[in-house]
């Protein structure tokens, strides 16, 4: 969540824990970093850090340090400083399980800069291959805030797998896939980090059908991978794989097509089970899926594979791919595919004005149920959401044209 919006936007960063001058310098530095001008951002960051308690400025500075080790050290110092600040502000029991604050972090504005420090530590520890530190930091974040306002549950299964903790990864996935949790969004105890012994029992068909309609694909792929690592080609692992392929085929498609692992996270706005979330999952985990035995297992499941074989989008063609990623996507909307240049050329007059909401927000709803939008609308929606997330004013016509043509 962008700290320039919502309650922090109105009351100041951390509920006003830093001066307006420090906040103004921080915002200037962040804007310059976003424009890839870090050298011009440094003086503003130094001014923002003069008060000593601007944790967000320290986070930004950490990503500008010359080495990863220096970045991690700076964030570790910020974590200690932030912890001391919160004890002073919220009381000596604010980090204790029996206190009034644990499980409510993020809901308390004072805690937000500290949580952003932890999130940055997760990222840098992962990039330095300290997977245990990365996982344990997420576990602490979920202890403090089981509701996971920062989306770290999408990471934890992958990070646990990287840390060699397949049992914990499957336990975590199964906790978040409990029917009541999926139905209501209410988090499991300690954000799923109690780590009980996972179940090997296959799911009933009604449960499979329910998850296939609405479930978190990253966590379901964690279930598939960890089940296979623990028990090999078992029914439970195949169930998870098939469900994951239905919910977010972008993940399995790129694995089976042996596309290069993404080099960066996707910072664009995203919907549940979208291409953007697929890129982040693959950035974290794709190398594990490319192990020869795991890849061969995923490729051998004909039903899962059928979810990623695409049909030519020209209405009068209907040709199905013979192999994964055989057809090329439209370069504009990335949502339609063609078996060859001739079909793309013939379909252009139909596709250019075609009304079609992007698939990710409504993956199981027929496209004719909603008002439709043009091919370019997909990009307009993303641009609108990106500007909103950065706290910028979007063009007055941006959202209307994106959604209603």
> Tell me: the pLDDT tens digits for 265-290?
988 877 888 999 999 999 999 999 99
Mean predicted lDDT score pLDDT of the chain: 85
pLDDT in tens, 79-113: 999 999 999 999 999 999 999 999 999 999 999 99
Q: What radius of gyration do the chain's Cα atoms show?
A: 23
Residues 389, 393, 396: CA angle, nearest 5 degrees: 120
- pLDDT at position 389 is 52
8 Å CB contact between 191 and 155: no
Nearest to 283 by CA among 260, 299, 302, 300: 260
**Which residues touch 304 (CB under 8 Å, ≥6 apart)?**
238, 241, 242, 244, 245, 252, 298
pTM of the full structure: 0.82
According to the per-residue pLDDT averaged within each range, which of 47-51, 293-297, 372-376 is highest? 293-297
pLDDT range class, residue 53, cuts 50, 70, 90 = confident
CA distance 298 to 37: 43
Tokens representing residue 286 in the block: 């794709």
Predicted pLDDT of residue 271? 84
* Residue 367 scores a pLDDT above 50: no
- Which parts of 232-372 fold into alpha helices (H)? 235-247, 249-256, 275-289, 292-300, 302-306, 341-351
Q: Which fold has domain 1-128?
A: 1.25.40
Tell me the average pLDDT across 215-243.
Answer: 97
* Planar angle of CA 343, 346, 348, nearest 5 degrees: 105
Residues 31-42: tens digit of each pLDDT: 999 888 999 999
Residue intervals of the chain classified under CATH 1.25.40 are 1-128
The predicted model gives 157-176 an average pLDDT of 98
The two tokens of residue 347 are 């379909």
How many Cα atoms are found within 13 Å in the side-chain-facing hemisphere of 30? 17
Which is it for the CA torsion 384, 381, 154, 107, positive or negative? positive
Average pLDDT of the segment spanning 120-145: 97
- Cα distance between residue 310 and residue 298, in whole Å: 17
For residue 365, the model assigns a pLDDT of 36
Q: What percent of the chain has pLDDT over 90?
A: 62
């Amino acid at each position: 969540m962008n700290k320039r919006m919502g309650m922090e936007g109105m009351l100041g960063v951390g509920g006003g824990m830093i001066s307006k001058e420090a906040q103004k310098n921080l915002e200037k530095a962040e804007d310059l970093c976003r424009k890839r001008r870090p050298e011009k951002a440094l003086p503003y960051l130094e001014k923002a850090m003069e008060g000593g308690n601007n944790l967000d400025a320290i986070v930004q500075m950490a990503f500008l340090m010359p080495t990863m080790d220096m970045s991690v050290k700076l964030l570790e110092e910020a974590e200690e400083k932030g912890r001391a600040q919160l004890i002073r502000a919220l009381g000596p029991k604010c980090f204790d399980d029996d206190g009034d604050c644990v499980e409510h972090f993020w809901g308390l504005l004072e805690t937000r800069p500290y949580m952003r420090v932890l999130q940055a530590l997760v990222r840098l520890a992962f990039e330095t291959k300290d997977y245990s530190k990365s996982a344990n930091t997420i576990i602490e974040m979920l202890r403090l805030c089981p509701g996971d306002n920062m989306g770290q549950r999408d990471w934890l299964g992958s990070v646990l797998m990287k840390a060699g903790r397949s049992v914990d990864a499957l336990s975590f996935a199964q906790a978040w896939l409990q029917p009541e949790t999926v139905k209501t969004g209410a988090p499991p105890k300690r954000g799923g980090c109690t780590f009980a012994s996972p179940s090997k029992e296959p799911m009933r068909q009604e449960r499979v059908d329910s998850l296939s309609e609405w479930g978190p694909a990253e966590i379901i792929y964690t279930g598939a991978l960890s089940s296979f690592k623990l028990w090999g080609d078992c029914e439970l692992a195949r169930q998870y794989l098939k469900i994951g392929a239905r919910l977010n085929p972008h993940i399995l498609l790129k694995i089976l097509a042996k596309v290069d692992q993404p080099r960066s996270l996707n910072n664009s706005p995203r919907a549940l089970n979208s291409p953007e979330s697929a890129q982040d999952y693959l950035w974290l985990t794709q190398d594990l899926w490319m192990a020869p035995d795991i890849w061969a297992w995923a490729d051998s499941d004909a039903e899962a594979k059928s979810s990623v074989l695409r049909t030519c989008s020209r209405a009068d063609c209907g040709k199905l791919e013979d192999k994964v990623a055989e057809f090329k996507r439209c370069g504009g909307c990335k949502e339609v595919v063609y078996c060859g240049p001739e079909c793309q050329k013939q379909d252009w007059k139909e596709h250019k004005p075609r009304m079609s909401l992007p698939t990710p927000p409504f993956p199981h709803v027929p496209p004719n149920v909603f008002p439709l939008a043009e091919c370019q609308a997909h990009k307009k929606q993303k641009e609108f959401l990106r500007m909103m997330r950065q706290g910028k004013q979007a063009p007055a016509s941006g959202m209307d044209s994106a959604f209603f043509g």
